Amino acid sequence: MITFESVTKRYPGGTVAVDALDLEIPDGQTMVLVGPSGCGKTTSLRMINRLIDPSEGRIMLDGTDISTVEAPRLRRGIGYVIQQAGLFPHRTIEDNIATVPLLEGWNKAKARDRARELMDLVGLDANMARRYPYQLSGGQQQRVGVARALAADPPVLLMDEPFSAVDPIVRSSLQDELIRLQNELHKTVVLVTHDVEEAIKVGDQVAVFYPHGKIAQLDTPQHLLGSPADEYVENFLGFDRGIRRLAFFSAGQLDLETGTVLAADTTVEAARAAAQRCGEPWVLVTDGGNRQPQGWFAVSDLDRQPDRETLGSLSLPLAPLGHTFQVGRDSLRAALDATVLSRTGRAAGVDGDGRVVGITTYERLRAAIQTAEQAGLDGNPDQPAFREGRTTPEAQQAGADDAAEPAGEGVRPS
Ligand SMILES: Nc1ncnc2c1ncn2[C@@H]1O[C@H](COP(=O)(O)OP(=O)(O)O)[C@@H](O)[C@H]1O
Ligand SMILES: [Mg+2]
């Protein structure tokens, strides 16, 4: 646990970068400090590893005032990742990663083994070990930066705008990687960013800063989106927070339409009857054996087809399936996206093996959103929210009967 106790940082010249900051950063979680440029995020972060000393107040790490610990010893337990990775240009990738282990006196072979292990962990190909930083893309360099910070297996990881210098697609995949790493390693991560989208995505807790080194709101992403403390936070979050909040509810809450999920050997007559029973203008055709979705027929088109023909034998083209969503894994937002993007205004929810579970409709989405909003308002704030890509006990449960890959395949550091 890292605790800021009324910490102030005044720079020469009088700028108050951080103003009487109180903050508790629990172990094993990702705490994101987010706010506009110049609000004191970097200063706050760099006080944790004593690159900057507070003017007033103190910072405790696991109950010890860090000002009483020699900086080099303190930093051995704290990995540090910065925006442009900050790699040594004349050292190979493996030597960059092995920097701290070598400083700690590991022999070269052991340090290199450790470097290889970490490359695997952060998703870097082993054949990059002997290359130099300039031979890697920005995203790959950033992975090296993370590997280097993790090399001595420190319990704390500080990250200052770690993904800000790479393009949006790479940024998004690095964020996914961080979430995956955290599922596995459970470090105490303090991450600084100006990007609220990133904060919401990777943070277990998010501290939104006012311009002058004071916290406007400290909350879980879900509660931040659900109840911003004031107009400043609300504006900072942006105007689509209603939709973004749906990312915190599982698509498993949907009551899906199943009456119009029809195997290819269903007759046209039976399909029409099913659609009528359900009041649905579309039916979803699946391949009979394993319920994999194929595409849609409009009921109005079926009216012109012979009763006895089966859906699979019609020469009528299927309307494209569109995106599906996975019921035990994806969020209500993913289900909504898939539905909105679909030509039929419907989307197929599938299980881990791609078999159809049921169909969304706007009506059913609306009902699930209403229930979710209600649950969000009444919900226990201490109960961890549903997060896409996170391992929670429920997600593990839901994934238990999937053949899907287990979370995290990297090598666990020794
Ligand atoms: N070494 C310094 N000397 C004087 N002022 C500084 C120094 N470093 C940062 N500042 C000022 O402190 C404030 C907070 O800076 P910083 O912590 O870097 O903000 P952020 O990381 O949120 O952009 C800014 O007004 C900045 O100009
Ligand atoms: Mg900064």
Correct CATH for 2-248 of 3.40.50.300, 3.50.50.60, 3.40.50.1820, 3.40.50.920: 3.40.50.300
Answer for the pair 210, 236: CB distance below 8 angstroms, yes or no. Answer: no
Separation between Cα atoms, residue 393 and residue 384, nearest integer Å: 10
Domain segments of the chain: what residues? 2-248, 252-369
pLDDT along the chain (414 residues), means of 10: 97 94 96 94 96 97 95 92 85 93 88 91 91 91 91 93 83 89 93 92 95 93 90 89 84 95 96 96 92 95 94 94 92 92 93 95 92 67 64 47 38 37
pLDDT value at position 374? 77
Q: Is 18 helix (H, G, I), strand (E, B) or coil?
A: strand
Answer for the pair 128, 146: CB distance below 8 angstroms, yes or no. Answer: no
pLDDT value at position 20? 96
Position 37: which residue type?
Answer: S
Q: Which residues line ligand 1 (CB under 6 A)?
A: 11, 13, 15, 17, 35, 37-43
Q: Which atom of ligand 1 is nearest to the CA of 41?
A: 22
pLDDT value at position 404? 38
- Probe residue for ligand 1, chosen from 11, 44, 52 as the CB with the greatest number of ligand atoms within 8 Å: 11
What is the dihedral angle through the alpha carbons of 240, 242, 244, 248, rounded to the nearest 10 degrees? 170
The protein residue whose alpha carbon is closest to atom 18 in ligand 1 is 42
Separation between Cα atoms, residue 385 and residue 221, nearest integer Å: 9
pLDDT value at position 383? 54
pTM: 0.78
Q: Which atom of ligand 1 is nearest to the CA of 42?
A: 21
pLDDT value at position 306? 94
Query: Domain 252-369 belongs to what topology?
Result: CBS-domain (3.10.580)
Give the torsion sign (CA, 215, 219, 221, 225): negative
- Probe residue for ligand 1, chosen from 10, 37, 42 as the CB with the greatest number of ligand atoms within 8 Å: 42
